[in-house]
Amino acid sequence: MSKYALTVKCVSKRGVVAAISTYLAAQGCNISDSAQFDDQETGNFFMRVTFTSDEGKQIEELRDGFEETARNFEMEADFHDENVKMKVLIMVSKFGHCLNDILYRWKIGALPIDIVAVISNHNDYQKLVVNHDIPFYRVKVTKENKEQAEAQQLEIIEESGAELVVLARYMQVLSDEMCTKLSGKAINIHHSFLPSFKGAYPYKQAFARGVKMIGATSHYVTPDLDEGPIIEQDIVRVSHAQSASDYVSLGRDIESQVLARAIHAHVHRRAFLNGSKTVVFPASPNSFASERMG
């Protein structure tokens, strides 16, 4: 039985929830999970519903039939087949912890994605990627060729059919033009020291200051460097007894986990842009289950 998700964003109006549930019931659909949020500050309403079609309705039929309801409430709404994996392209530089973590989660089915390509400005992970039967593209980036390099990257993204671009510790600053073109479909990861410890060796800077917590932030990419709408964050406590190298190792672990959770939220359509912030609904039951457990 097909499992679908309906995502909705609109101005908050009376009757919107009733209209959605009434439509699904009339189509012979059974709601398995539902989450909603009414933003009192902006007046925006967000909703995500997962359901099955007891009558075997196809997604195109459900989408077409919902047009009148969407029009009446001026909704941004769409139906998604939960069994169709989102196409993801990964960009990486010389730090491979996030890439390796994503590949492992993808391989065991913990991240229900289709990795269509990996782009890097170095060759360090070419063999690893190719051994996973994933296309690898080396695109060297310098100050002199940045415009041409980004044009090549965008061409690869388009030709691969990627619906999401993941910057898995890709250590090149994207231009404003590229950020704009990837708006809402590119995710980045970085340590959570910003703006306290900028530049090179942030973990060593944190160690020198004796911080007691380190963390990571994953967010949507915008022209404002490392200031896009936040999807996921987490922290780990550290103590005076740990070294700067410990900070780096712990930081890599938390970065990998936070990025994976952000990808999970996006590919399950749980993350909604809400101005400079996001609305991120809890995961539906069984959505964290892996195809290969144990």
Tokens 């099955």, residue located: 52
pLDDT at 203: 86
Q: Are 115 and 72 members of one domain?
A: no
What is the rounded distance in angstroms from the CA atom of residue 256 to the CA atom of residue 288? Answer: 16
To the nearest whole percent, how much of the chain has pLDDT over 90?
86
Checking if the pLDDT of 294 tops 60, the result is no
pLDDT at 82: 93
244-267 vs 202-209: helix crossing angle, rounded to 10: 120
Q: Read off the pLDDT of residues 66-86 as tens digits, 9 standing for 90 and up.
A: 999 999 999 999 999 999 999
Checking if the pLDDT of 143 tops 60, the result is yes
Q: Are 202 and 251 members of one domain?
A: yes
pLDDT at 289: 82
175 domain residue, yes or no: yes
Q: Read off the pLDDT of residues 78-126 as tens digits, 9 standing for 90 and up.
A: 999 999 999 999 999 999 999 999 999 999 999 999 999 999 999 999 9
Q: Read off the pLDDT of residues 226-276 as tens digits, 9 standing for 90 and up.
A: 889 999 999 999 999 999 999 999 999 999 999 999 999 999 999 999 999
Mean pLDDT of 172-178: 95
What is the rounded distance in angstroms from the CA atom of residue 266 to the CA atom of residue 186? Answer: 10
7 and 77 in contact (C-beta within 8 Å)? Answer: yes
Final residue belonging to a domain, choices 21, 55, 81 = 81
Q: Are 145 and 205 members of one domain?
A: yes
CATH of the domain at 275: 3.40.50.170
Q: Are 213 and 262 members of one domain?
A: yes
Question: In whole angstroms, what separates CA 111 from the centre of its chain?
Answer: 11
257 and 234 in contact (C-beta within 8 Å)? Answer: yes
Mean pLDDT of 47-68: 96
Q: Are 73 and 109 members of one domain?
A: no
What is the tally of structural domains in the chain? 2
Q: Read off the pLDDT of residues 3-48 as tens digits, 9 standing for 90 and up.
A: 999 999 999 999 999 999 999 999 999 999 999 999 999 999 999 9
Mean pLDDT of 214-218: 94
294 domain residue, yes or no: no
287 domain residue, yes or no: no
98 and 189 in contact (C-beta within 8 Å)? Answer: yes
pLDDT at 200: 73
For 114-137, give one letter per residue: b (16+ CB within 10 A) or e: bbbbbbbbeeebeebbeeeebebb
Q: Are 77 and 91 members of one domain?
A: no
Q: Are 38 and 132 members of one domain?
A: no
Final residue belonging to a domain, choices 54, 81, 108 = 81
Q: Are 76 and 108 members of one domain?
A: no
pLDDT at 195: 58
Classify residue 259 as exposed, middle or buried by CB count within 10 Å of its CB (0-12, 13-18, 19+): buried
pLDDT at 225: 79
- Strands 271-274, 277-280: pairing kind: antiparallel
Final residue belonging to a domain, choices 49, 81, 113 = 81
Q: Are 44 and 109 members of one domain?
A: no
Checking if the pLDDT of 293 tops 70, the result is no
Q: Which range marks the domain in which residue 27 is found? A: 2-81
75 and 10 in contact (C-beta within 8 Å)? Answer: yes
- Could you say which of 78, 124, 226, 253 is catalytic? 226
pLDDT interval class at 192 (50, 70, 90): confident
202 domain residue, yes or no: yes
Q: Are 251 and 118 members of one domain?
A: yes
Tokens 């059919």, residue located: 161
| Average predicted confidence (pLDDT) for the chain | 94
Within 10 angstroms of residue 247's Cβ, the number of other Cβ atoms is: 21
226 is an active site residue: yes
